[in-house]
């Protein structure tokens, strides 16, 4: 297999980008290494945010043990459900995640459920936990997307734009190659290449922007859970656009709609509505507290007058 990856319009030409590293004869996929690094950095950031907001960082280390396990399981189940044709004839391949096949929305759903249960058991505020954890989550997603780079997957349709990525045909799945890509195949030194949108890169950059927004806004939030809703809105909006470029979309059976785009649209609308409602409720509660405080002050003044 040819291991070259290049970004011709940026002048970047990488001749040897392997998919795994061999240690004592055992191959460890870069995909798994990148995902692992993303998880560790995400846990570190969540613990640091917990310390900043005077929570117990140990709670987040404990949560991470369960959340990571169930998030990976959830991400795999989600992917397998919507890509069942790839696994129905070889059920054991369901357990082989070294070659990819994790859907982030499945991980988010499973992780959020795990967090809520953990909060209930530990008698903690689950909206506050979500606010804290989402900072680590988006950072982990930003890093984890680079696993797709090493796997030559999760790319978009043909493009000749500035960020166009050139991949050898023998390094990608045939099912991910579209007719438009075939019409623009280029041959260099006897190797046939397709040129595509590096959607993993787009999403990684988008996640960085969402992370910056969260870090800048976190001291100004009006209610617990608001940061998580902003995360859902921001990430969902980016995914709604980026998913439309990809050629390996998971489709809703029968409808043939990209499940991630549909879910992203629902998530964005729901998050916006919840932010509007809860910010309004926060303002109403603040006004009620102000009126109650004013009423107590007036009552105290009357009592002083009567004395």
Query: Between 91 and 278, where is the model more confident?
Result: 278
| d(C-alpha 105, C-alpha 262), whole Å | 12
pLDDT confidence of 299, banded at 50, 70, 90?
A: low
What DSSP element (H or E) covers 22? Answer: strand 20-23
* Per-residue pLDDT tens digits for 85-125: 888 878 888 887 766 678 889 999 999 999 999 999 999 99
Residue ranges in the chain assigned as alpha helix (H): 30-52, 57-82, 104-122, 126-144, 146-151, 179-182, 199-217, 226-242, 259-306
User: Minimal CA–CA distance to 30: which of 144, 174, 112?
Assistant: 144
* Per-residue pLDDT tens digits for 127-152: 999 999 999 999 999 999 999 999 99
Sequence ranges of the domains in the chain: 5-306
* Per-residue pLDDT tens digits for 9-53: 999 999 999 988 888 888 888 988 999 999 999 999 999 999 999
| d(C-alpha 219, C-alpha 113), whole Å | 26
Task: Report whether 190 contacts 128 (CB < 8 A).
Answer: no
| d(C-alpha 213, C-alpha 230), whole Å | 9
* For residues 219-225, average pLDDT: 93
295 to 68, 224, 285, 299, 300: CA distances (angstroms): 50, 28, 15, 6, 9
Annotated binding residue at 286?
no
């Amino acid at each position: 297999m040819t291991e070259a990856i290049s970004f011709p319009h940026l002048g970047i030409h990488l001749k040897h980008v392997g998919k795994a590293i061999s240690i004592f004869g055992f191959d460890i996929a870069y995909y798994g290494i990148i995902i692992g690094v993303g998880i560790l950095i995400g846990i570190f950031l969540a613990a640091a945010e917990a310390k900043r907001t005077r929570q117990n960082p140990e709670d987040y280390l404990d949560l991470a043990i369960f959340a990571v396990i169930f998030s990976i399981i959830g991400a795999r189940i989600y992917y397998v459900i919507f890509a069942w044709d790839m696994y129905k004839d070889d059920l054991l391949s369901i357990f082989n995640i070294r070659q990819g096949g994790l859907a982030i929305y499945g991980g988010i759903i499973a992780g959020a459920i795990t967090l809520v249960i953990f909060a209930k058991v530990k008698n903690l505020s689950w909206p506050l936990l979500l606010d804290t954890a989402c900072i680590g989550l988006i950072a982990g997603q930003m890093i984890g997307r680079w696993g797709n780079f090493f796997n030559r997957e999760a790319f978009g349709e043909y493009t000749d734009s500035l960020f166009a990525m050139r991949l050898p045909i023998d390094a990608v799945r045939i099912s991910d190659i579209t007719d438009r890509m075939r019409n623009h195949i280029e041959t260099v030194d006897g190797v046939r290449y397709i040129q595509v949108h590096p959607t993993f890169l787009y999403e990684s950059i988008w996640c960085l922007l969402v992370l910056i927004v969260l870090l800048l806004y976190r001291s100004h939030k009006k209610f617990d859970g608001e940061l998580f809703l902003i995360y859902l809105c921001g990430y969902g909006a980016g995914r709604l656009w980026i998913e439309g470029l990809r050629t390996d979309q998971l489709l809703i059976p029968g409808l043939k709609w990209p499940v991630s785009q549909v879910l992203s649209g629902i998530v964005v609308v729901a998050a916006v509505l919840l932010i509007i409602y809860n910010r309004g409720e926060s303002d109403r509660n603040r006004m009620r507290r102000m009126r109650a405080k004013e009423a107590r002050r007036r009552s105290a003044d009357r009592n002083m007058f009567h004395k």
